[in-house]
Structure 1
Amino acid sequence: MKKSYANILLVIVTIIWGGGFIATDGALDALSPFYIMMIRFMGAAILPCILCFKKLKNLEGYIWRRGLFAGALLFLAFSFQTIGLQYTTPSKNAFLTAVNVVMVPYLLWLYMRKKPNQKEVLASIVCVIGIAFLTLKPDAVGLNIGDMLSIICAFFFATHMIVLERYSRHCDAIVMTALQMLGAGILSTICALLFETPPAQFELSAVGNLAYLIFISTLLAYLLQTFAQRFTTANSASLILSMEALFATLFSFLFLHEELTLYMIFGAALIFCSVIYIEYKPKQHT
């Protein structure tokens, strides 16, 4: 597959995740965070585990370890994001989570001795500035404990992106998705049972939101991301996936009637420009 087609798949993932913010908001009215994560990841693990059951039985141990490790990174990222949201504003949480865009080039340098070039650094900085305009409010100054937890969340999302780029090239996408969902689901279940109280009653209104989170925002989205990252780079993936904030803002405006300002439109334009800049390669004239 061409890199351009893989990047289109990643754009689809960002659109799906943008809608996931609305679904998560609705699910939180009925369930606590770890129970949502448990239902989300364990539910998303069932179908791929069934489809590749024979392959999973015959997998070598190192592939199991890689897949479960990727799932553990997902669990940690979502956990720190959720806990951080309890101590900071949604806008700062979204912005600081998206800082993984800047982290990816330097983590690649740290983990894989792959020094970032000037174009990658500039594109990531422009992207983060755009996300700041899109998500932050004028009074969003200073850092508190929630902000620090959100930055840790960004670190785990960035590391997951790098790990997925490396591991997905040597493993079937459905198998890797199954292992990731299983790893994240098991850890979410343990935390839900240890740290949260089971819901006294279940609101039927949450069924649609949970179904979207399980089958669309988790199973389909991570299957597409895992497949696409076999054919693109972690730097490109991080920039494209940062558009999640853009689509989350757009859907919030369309469906939740939240405010859309000129600053936010300018931020969205900067994000688009950063993605186009990193992917643009002028034709070589012969």
Structure 2
Amino acid sequence: MKKRYANLLLMVVTIIWGGGFLATDGALETISPFYVMMIRFLGASIFPLVLGWKKLKKLSAVQIKQGVITGFFLFFAFAFQTFGLVYSTPGKNAFLTATNVVFVPYLLWFIYHKKPTRKEIFASMICVIGIALLTLKPNALFLGLGDILSIICAVFFALHIISLERYGAHTDAICMTALQMITAGIISSICAFLFETAPSTIPLRAMGNIAYLIFVSTLLAYLLQTYAQKFTSANSASLILSMEALFASLFSYLLLHEVMTPLMMLGAILIFLSVIFLEYRPKKNKNIKN
């Protein structure tokens, strides 16, 4: 698959996650955070486990270890994001989560000694400015507990993106998705049983949110992301996936009738421009005069 098609798949993932942000917020109204994570990850693990069972049995110990590490990062990213959403506003949570686009190039530099280019740094900075304009309110400069949790979440999302780039290329996408989901699901279950009380009933509205989280926002989205990242870079992936904040705002505008201000529109434009700037490669002139 060509890189541009992989990036288009990642764009689909961001659209899915834009709706998933609202579904998570709705599910948290009636179900505690770890139980939401347990339900979504264990539910999303069933299909890839069944479909990829024969291939999973043939995986090496190293491949299984890589899938578990990736799932470990995924669990902690969602744990910190979910609790960040509980103690912060949705706008600040979305912004701080999306700052993983800044962490990715520097973590690649720190872990793998892959120095980021000026173009990558500039594009990530423009993207963060755009996300800030899109999601933050004038009184959002103060950092509370939820905001600190959201920043930690961004680091784990960055590590998850990097691990998919490093490990996903060597393992079938369905198998890698299964390993991620079951790992995150098991850890979520342990935390849910230890620290929270199981919900006595689940309202019909929450059932709809949970169904979206399991089958669309988790299963479909991570299958697409895992497959697409075989053909694109971690820096490109993080930049495109940061557009989740854009689509979350768009869905809030369309479904919840939230106001889109001129600054928010400017932020959306900057996010688009940052992606185009990073991915633009001018065609070389093949007409060479003799």
Give the letter aligned to residue 275 of structure 1: V
* Aligned-residue offset at 1:181: 0.3
Alignment CA distance shift 1:83-1:25 (3 Å): closer
- Which range moves more in the overlay, 5-14 or 144-153? 144-153
Q: How does 1:126-141 map to 2 (within 5 A)?
A: 126-141=126-141
**Partners of 2:94 and 2:207 in 1: how far apart?**
25
**Partners of 2:2 and 2:141 in 1: how far apart?**
42
Q: How does 1:52-71 map to 2 (within 5 A)?
A: 52-71=52-71
Residue matched to 1:278: 278
* Aligned-residue offset at 1:60: 1.2
Q: How does 1:207-222 map to 2 (within 5 A)?
A: 207-222=207-222
Residue matched to 2:13: 13
**Partners of 1:81 and 1:206 in 2: how far apart?**
19
Residue matched to 2:202: 202
Residue matched to 1:85: 85
- Which range moves more in the overlay, 90-99 or 124-133? 90-99
**Partners of 1:197 and 1:221 in 2: how far apart?**
29
- Which range moves more in the overlay, 188-197 or 204-213? 204-213
**5+ residue gaps in structure 2?**
none
Residue matched to 1:223: 223
* Aligned-residue offset at 1:88: 2.2
Give me the TM-score of the superposition, normalised by structure 2.
Answer: 0.97
Give the letter aligned to residue 119 of structure 1: K
RMSD: 0.9
Give the letter aligned to residue 57 of structure 2: K
Identical-residue share of aligned pairs (%): 66
Residue matched to 2:117: 117
Residue matched to 1:240: 240
Give the letter aligned to residue 255 of structure 1: L
Corresponding residue pairs, total:
286
Residue matched to 2:158: 158
**Partners of 1:100 and 1:60 in 2: how far apart?**
30
Give the letter aligned to residue 220 of structure 1: L
**Partners of 1:174 and 1:82 in 2: how far apart?**
25
**Partners of 2:95 and 2:18 in 1: how far apart?**
14
Residue deviations 1:124-154, cap 9 Å, x none?
A: 0000000000000001112222221111100
* Aligned-residue offset at 1:120: 0.3
**Partners of 1:198 and 1:220 in 2: how far apart?**
26
**Partners of 1:58 and 1:282 in 2: how far apart?**
43
Alignment CA distance shift 1:84-1:25 (3 Å): closer
**Partners of 1:228 and 1:4 in 2: how far apart?**
10
Give me the TM-score of the superposition, normalised by structure 1.
Answer: 0.98
> Which consecutive aligned stretches of 4+ in structure 1 deviate over 4 angstroms post-superposition?
none
**Partners of 1:47 and 1:22 in 2: how far apart?**
24
**Partners of 1:231 and 1:158 in 2: how far apart?**
18
Residue matched to 1:187: 187
Residue deviations 1:192-222, cap 9 Å, x none?
A: 1111111122212222211111011000000
